[in-house]
Amino acid sequence: MPAVVVNTHAGHELDAVSDAVDEVNALKVQIWDSQSEFDSTKDKTTFRQYETACDRVKNFYKEQHEKQTVAFNIKARTEFKSRKRARMGIWQAMEMLNTLVDDSDPDTELSQIEHLLQTAEAIRHDGKPEWMQVTGLIHDLGKLLYLFGSEGQWDVVGDTFVVGCAFSDKNIYPGTFAGNPDFHDAVYSTKYGIYEPNCGLDNVMVSWGHDEYLYNVVKDQSSLPAEGLAMIRYHSFYPWHREGAYTHLMNEKDHAALEAARAFNPYDLYSKSDEPCDIEKLRPYYQDLIAKFFPSEIDW
């Protein structure tokens, strides 16, 4: 039997390559929360200009602020658990959503699928991990609620806020909350309301809409990490992740969620532009990416 010749030099080379791969993979794990780069040349003062927004946007927020009550939020969460609205894949859901125009958004008139692709492409441009790319791709799919029979857009889109305690003056158009019956409630109008100090956001009702809906849809039907789920659940919670409101309700776990929401926000907000994406060109890449984190169909 011929002797087995062991190439020790090749073994060292393999070790070196393996170590280099491990180092790159470690960097990939860390890179999701690094500073965004794609938006370095954008004039960010032109985004979220609600004081100069059109009447459509202002009227939307007045209705949302008046109707998002504790009673409604309990009802919405109960109804979510009571029925299945559809069963379909992620890309099919994106195509279904494409008929919606978001009345709360002053920054773009592009279709929903183009915004999703713009967000995902900005994340990919900055070399973020695949789970964050797919999070960007799906983050607004909860807006399907509107097509599934919501009460309006006010319970689907727009900035979110806590119900069950005093409405923060960090919310946009804070004066419009005066029309909400909870504004005058003896308990709901206090600092902590129905909550305990530092009880944690898992124990708080943030106003029902596409964030909370999609979070509940994907949390048990995907392999997204906790950071991706936090990005989905809180990306519209601007008074919290942008303005610093509601910190008195946070626990230790919520600090990691806040970091994730802040890391995701530039890609959601500043990727919006009037330049359309080539949907068919991008489709194969993102369909392959979706398959890494989702089954072919999920329940909605």
pLDDT on residue 39: 57
- Could you tell me whether strands 162-163 and 298-299 are parallel, antiparallel, or unpaired per DSSP bridges? unpaired
Q: Distance between CA atoms of 113 and 97, rounded to whole angstroms? A: 7
The mean pLDDT of 175-199, rounded to a whole number, is: 98
Q: What is the mean pLDDT of the chain?
A: 86
Least confident of 22-31, 161-170, 200-209, 213-222: 22-31
Least confident of 30-39, 108-117, 148-157: 30-39
- Tens of pLDDT, residues 222-274: 999 999 999 999 999 999 999 999 999 999 999 999 999 999 999 998 777 65
The mean pLDDT of 152-168, rounded to a whole number, is: 97
CA distances from 115 to 120, 139, 246, 260 (A): 9, 10, 29, 20
The percentage of the chain sitting over the pLDDT mark of 70, rounded to a whole number, equals 79
- Tens of pLDDT, residues 100-110: 766 655 545 67
Bridge partner residues of 87 (DSSP): 299
- Tens of pLDDT, residues 119-143: 999 999 999 999 999 999 999 999 9
- Tens of pLDDT, residues 34-88: 776 665 565 545 544 455 567 888 999 999 999 999 999 999 999 999 999 999 9
Question: Does the structure show a pLDDT above 90 at 212?
Answer: yes
**Nearest in space to 264 (alpha carbons), one of 240, 214, 228:** 228
How confident is residue 277, by pLDDT bands cut at 50, 70 and 90? Answer: confident
How confident is residue 220, by pLDDT bands cut at 50, 70 and 90? Answer: very high
Q: Distance between CA atoms of 37 and 24, rounded to whole angstroms? A: 19
With both helix axes pointing from N to C terminus, report the angle between 226-234 and 252-269 in degrees, rounded to the nearest 10: 70
With both helix axes pointing from N to C terminus, report the angle between 279-293 and 90-97 in degrees, rounded to the nearest 10: 140
SS3 per residue for the chain: CCCCCCCHHHHHHHHHHHHHHHHHHHHHHHHHHCCCCCCCCCCHHHCCCCCCCCHHHHHHHHHHHHHCCHHHHHHHHHHHHHCCCCEECHHHHHHHHCCCCCCCCCCCCCCHHHHHHHHHHHHHHCCCCHHHHHHHHHCCHHHHHHHCCCCCCCCCCCCCCEECCCCCCCCCCHHHHHHCHHHHCCCCCCCCCCCCCCCCHHHCEECCCHHHHHHHHHCCCCCCCHHHHHHHHHCCCHHHHCCCCCHHHCCHHHHHHHHHHHHHHHHHHCCCCCCCCCHHHHHHHHHHHHHHHCCCCEEC
pLDDT on residue 14: 41
pLDDT on residue 29: 40
Instruction: Please give the residue that has the higher pLDDT: either 36 or 181.
Output: 181
pLDDT on residue 40: 59
| Residue 85 tokens, joined | 């609205």
